[in-house]
């Protein structure tokens, strides 16, 4: 096993850090994996550059050092690598995959712990990804608002079509029955991170429909306030992709939003999801 010195360089004041001195395709020592995990927990999202020589088997092996890899519920994985899905926008397409602020698949009873995304083909410009720190989003609220939200639970629904049209498009083209399922789950509006113990705001515009015990109409005003609040610029960082870049984010405390500003060009990414636990 190779054990190179690891350098962590923060990318913004709110969250995010680049990890240098790591070749993801290598069989990394346990100390290196532990250092990377510490950086993920501290910064919410971490980035690797210049990982061009990363075959799918080594990408998957790296991901498995951090948790159990799982299949995405609505998109078929690669042949031979069902845990790796292709996230693509082609030259003729206008809507990108997941192009709205969200935490991944919160409509699952056990939403994912983390997600890894590797750049395979990139447009000549555009296609950045934004990330937002949900610890800061919660901590910036007034004490009275924090207390109220801590008593609430909210419903996430995979069929929230007005902000997930790309998923609907993919469901129509996917022949398997699993792609046609509708999934819902209830989660606390404020979750406590199981490893750091910090509290994070845990609703998102892509999947959250209403508060438990309230109608969608009754929930709409407060939810819209939270959706706007949790993406305030001071809570965010922006990652510009280069060939060979990898992003690894903690879904328990960070949201992301891929910017759809590269019409007419191709963007191909490979994504791996790590199993999580039930939010509390």
214-243: per-residue pLDDT in tens?
999 999 999 999 999 999 999 999 999 999
Neighbouring residues of 226: CB distance < 8 A, sequence distance ≥ 6: 149, 189, 201, 203
Q: How many of the other CB atoms lie within 10 Å of CB of 279?
A: 23
Kindly state whether residue 1 falls inside one of the protein's structural domains.
no
Our answer to whether residue 207 is catalytic in this structure is: no
- pTM more than 0.75: yes
Kindly state whether residue 183 falls inside one of the protein's structural domains.
yes
pLDDT of residue 180: 64
Query: Tokens standing for 160?
Result: 């929230």
CA pair distance 67, 154, nearest whole angstrom? 27
Q: How many of the other CB atoms lie within 10 Å of CB of 196?
A: 15
Neighbouring residues of 93: CB distance < 8 A, sequence distance ≥ 6: none
| Active-site entry in 104, 193, 250, 252 | 104
- pLDDT digit string, tens, across residues 79-107: 999 999 999 999 999 999 899 999 999 99
pLDDT of residue 164: 46
CATH number (domain holding residue 45): 3.60.130.10
Phi-psi label, residue 44: left if phi above 0, alpha if psi -120 to 50, beta otherwise: left
- Count structural domains, the chain: 1
Kindly state whether residue 112 falls inside one of the protein's structural domains.
yes
Our answer to whether residue 20 is catalytic in this structure is: no
At 192 the three-state DSSP class reads strand
Our answer to whether residue 210 is catalytic in this structure is: no
- pLDDT digit string, tens, across residues 121-143: 999 999 999 999 999 999 999 99
Mean pLDDT of the 250-265 span = 97
Kindly state whether residue 102 falls inside one of the protein's structural domains.
yes
Handedness of CA 117, 257, 211, 158 (dihedral sign): negative
CA angle 231, 236, 240 (to 5 degrees): 120
| Active-site entry in 37, 102, 191, 252 | 102
pLDDT interval class at 3 (50, 70, 90): low
Going by C-alpha positions, the residue among 217, 158, 231, 155 that lies closest to residue 188 is 155
Kindly state whether residue 279 falls inside one of the protein's structural domains.
no
For 267, the domain range is 7-274
Our answer to whether residue 256 is catalytic in this structure is: yes
- pLDDT digit string, tens, across residues 154-200: 999 998 844 445 443 454 445 455 556 799 999 999 999 999 999 99
Kindly state whether residue 90 falls inside one of the protein's structural domains.
yes
| Active-site entry in 191, 193, 256, 270 | 256
pLDDT of residue 179: 54
Q: Which residue has the higher pLDDT, 33 or 181?
A: 33
pLDDT of residue 160: 86
The percentage of the chain sitting over the pLDDT mark of 70, rounded to a whole number, equals: 91
At 206 the three-state DSSP class reads coil
pLDDT of residue 178: 53
Kindly state whether residue 225 falls inside one of the protein's structural domains.
yes
Going by C-alpha positions, the residue among 50, 43, 51 that lies closest to residue 9 is 43
């Amino acid at each position: 096993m190779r054990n190179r010195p690891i350098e962590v360089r923060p990318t913004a004041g709110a969250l995010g850090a680049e990890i240098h001195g790591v070749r993801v395709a290598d069989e990394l020592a346990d100390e290196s994996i532990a250092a990377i995990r510490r950086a993920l927990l501290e910064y919410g999202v971490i980035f690797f550059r210049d990982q061009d020589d990363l075959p799918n088997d080594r990408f998957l092996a790296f991901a498995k050092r951090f948790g159990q890899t799982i299949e995405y519920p609505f998109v078929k994985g690669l042949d031979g690598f069902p845990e790796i899905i292709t996230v693509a926008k082609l030259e003729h397409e206008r809507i990108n995959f997941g192009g709205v602020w969200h935490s991944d698949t919160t409509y699952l009873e056990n939403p994912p712990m983390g997600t890894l995304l590797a750049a395979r083909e990139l447009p000549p410009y555009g296609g950045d990804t934004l990330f937002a720190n949900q610890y800061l989003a919660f901590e910036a609220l007034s004490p009275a608002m924090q207390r109220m939200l801590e008593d609430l639970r909210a419903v996430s629904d995979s069929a929230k079509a007005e902000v997930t049209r790309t998923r609907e498009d993919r469901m129509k083209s996917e022949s398997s029955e699993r792609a046609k399922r509708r999934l819902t789950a209830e989660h606390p509006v404020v979750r406590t991170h199981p490893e750091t113990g910090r509290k994070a705001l845990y609703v998102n515009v892509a999947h959250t429909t209403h508060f438990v015990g309230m109608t969608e109409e009754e929930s709409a005003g407060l939810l819209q306030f939270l959706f706007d609040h949790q993406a305030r610029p001071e809570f965010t960082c922006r990652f510009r992709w280069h060939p060979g870049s990898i992003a690894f984010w903690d879904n328990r405390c960070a949201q992301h939003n891929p910017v759809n500003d590269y019409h007419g060009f191709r963007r191909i990414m490979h994504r791996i999801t790590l199993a999580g636990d039930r939010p509390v």
